[in-house]
C-alpha cells in the first residue's frame, strides 16, 4: 500500500488511474483545478465514485498555488496527468495557458521533488504530439521529436525539463507518450466523444480533411496499466516510453467500426484540415513491451462499444 498523488484527477485518464490505485488498496491525493477548458460538470461526474472512497482526498487547487514541498512528504509516486489539453486551441492568445499549465506547473513539482527523499517515481504524461509528422512509421522513442503544434511543443518542453531534473538532481522521472487515448470519460472535445454525441443528436460528424489520416488508438485501461508499470519498474527511471494501442487505423475505417457498434450509418461532413494536426501517428511500443511488460489488451471495436455505452448514459 502506498500513498500517491494524481494531478488532473478529475480528467479522463486521471480519474481512471486514481480508481485503479484505490481498487488495489492505495491511498490517493487527487489534485484538480476544474478549469473550464471543457464543462467542469463532466469532471465532477468523473470523480463521483472516487469521492465515496475513504482512501481518497481531493485538493481543488491550481498546481502553481500549492506548497509542493510539504505536499510531497511521505508520497511514493506522483502521476502528473494535469495539462492544458488540445492541439487546436494552442495557437494565438491561448498559448500562455499552455506554457503555464504544461511547463511552469511541471517545473514547480520537479523543484519540490528534488528536495524530497520519499519519492520513488514521478510519472509524467506526455503525448505522441511531440513527434509531429514523424518520418518513420511506426515511430520509436529514438526518433527526433518535431512537434507541429504549440501544444506539442509545450508537452515536449515539459518532458525535457523532467529529464533535466533527473540528470542533475536524481529526480526519478519516467515519461509516457500517449497515443490518442479513448474510452469512457473521454473529453468532449475529442473525436470519438464528439462523433458519438453527434449520432445521439442526429447530426452529421465533422471530419477534418479527407478522413484518410491514421491514428494509433489506445484504450484508457491500457494507458492506466502503463502508468502502474512505469511507477513500479526500476528500469523505467529516466526513460521515455511510447504508449499506443498496438495498431494503426485509418479514421474512415474507425467510423465504419463505429457504425457497426451503433448499428446505423453515420452522416459525415468533411471540413478543412486543422492546423497542427499530425497526418499519421503510429507507436512502436517495443520498448514499453520489453521494460514495462506493456501489452495493450483492448481491441478497437470492444473499446468503442464501451465508450458508446458510456456516452448513451451520459446524454
- CATH of residue 46's domain is 3.40.50.720
Residue 36, domain member (yes or no): yes
**Residue 28 included in any domain:** yes
- Please check whether residue 200 lies inside any domain of the structure: no
128 assigned to some structural domain: yes
The answer to whether the beta carbons of residues 285 and 246 sit under 8 Å apart is yes
The predicted structure's pLDDT at residue 1:
85
- Please report, in tens digits, the pLDDT of each residue of the chain (315 residues total): 899 999 999 999 999 999 999 999 999 999 999 999 999 999 999 999 999 999 999 999 999 999 999 999 999 999 999 999 988 889 999 999 999 999 999 999 999 999 999 999 999 999 999 999 998 999 999 999 999 999 999 999 999 999 999 999 999 999 999 999 999 999 999 999 999 999 999 999 999 999 999 999 999 999 999 999 999 999 999 999 999 998 889 999 999 999 999 999 999 999 998 888 899 999 999 999 999 999 999 999 999 999 999 999 999
Residue found under cell 448499428: 263
Give the Cβ contact number of residue 168 at 10 Å.
9
Task: Domain of residue 61: give its range.
Answer: 3-179+219-244+277-297
How many DSSP H helices and E strands does the chain contain?
A: 11, 13
* Residue 255 in domain: no
**How many domains, the chain?**
1
The verdict on residue 214 lying in a domain is: no
Q: Return the active site residues.
A: 151
| 80 domain residue, yes or no | yes
d(CA 242, CA 221): 15
Nearest to 110 by CA among 122, 126, 96: 122
Residue 136 lies in a domain: yes
pLDDT of residue 274: 84
Does the model's pTM come out above 0.95? yes
Amino acid at each position: 500500500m502506498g500513498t500517491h498523488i494524481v494531478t488532473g484527477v478529475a480528467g479522463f485518464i486521471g480519474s481512471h488511474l486514481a480508481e485503479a490505485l484505490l481498487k488495489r488498496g492505495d491511498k490517493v491525493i487527487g489534485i484538480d483545478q476544474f478549469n473550464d477548458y471543457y464543462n467542469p460538470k463532466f469532471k465532477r461526474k468523473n470523480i463521483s465514485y472516487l469521492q465515496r472512497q475513504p482512501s481518497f482526498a481531493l485538493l481543488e487547487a491550481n498546481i502553481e498555488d500549492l506548497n509542493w514541498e510539504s505536499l510531497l512528504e511521505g508520497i511514493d509516486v506522483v502521476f502528473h496527468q494535469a495539462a492544458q489539453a488540445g492541439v487546436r486551441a494552442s495557437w494565438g492568445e491561448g498559448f500562455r495557458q499552455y506554457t503555464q499549465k504544461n511547463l511552469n506547473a511541471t517545473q514547480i513539482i520537479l523543484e519540490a521533488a528534488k528536495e524530497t527523499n520519499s519519492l520513488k517515481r514521478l510519472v509524467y504524461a506526455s503525448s505522441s504530439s511531440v513527434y509531429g509528422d514523424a518520418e518513420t512509421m511506426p515511430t520509436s522513442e529514438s526518433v527526433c521529436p518535431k512537434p507541429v503544434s504549440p501544444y506539442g511543443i509545450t508537452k515536449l518542453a515539459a518532458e525535457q525539463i523532467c529529464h533535466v531534473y533527473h540528470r542533475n538532481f536524481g529526480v526519478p522521472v519516467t515519461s509516457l507518450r500517449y497515443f490518442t487515448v479513448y474510452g469512457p470519460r473521454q473529453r468532449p472535445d475529442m473525436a470519438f466523444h464528439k462523433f458519438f454525441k453527434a449520432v445521439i443528436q442526429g447530426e452529421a460528424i465533422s471530419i477534418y480533411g479527407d478522413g484518410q489520416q491514421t491514428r494509433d488508438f489506445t484504450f484508457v485501461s491500457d494507458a492506466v496499466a502503463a502508468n502502474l508499470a512505469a511507477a513500479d519498474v526500476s528500469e523505467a527511471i529516466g526513460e521515455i516510453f511510447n504508449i499506443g494501442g498496438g495498431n494503426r487505423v485509418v479514421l474512415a475505417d474507425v467510423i465504419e467500426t463505429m457504425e457497426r457498434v451503433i448499428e446505423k450509418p453515420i452522416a459525415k461532413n468533411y471540413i478543412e484540415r486543422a492546423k497542427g494536426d499530425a497526418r499519421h501517428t503510429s507507436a512502436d511500443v517495443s520498448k514499453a513491451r520489453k521494460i514495462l511488460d506493456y501489452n495493450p489488451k483492448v481491441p478497437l471495436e470492444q473499446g468503442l462499444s464501451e465508450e458508446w455505452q458510456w456516452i448513451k448514459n451520459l446524454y
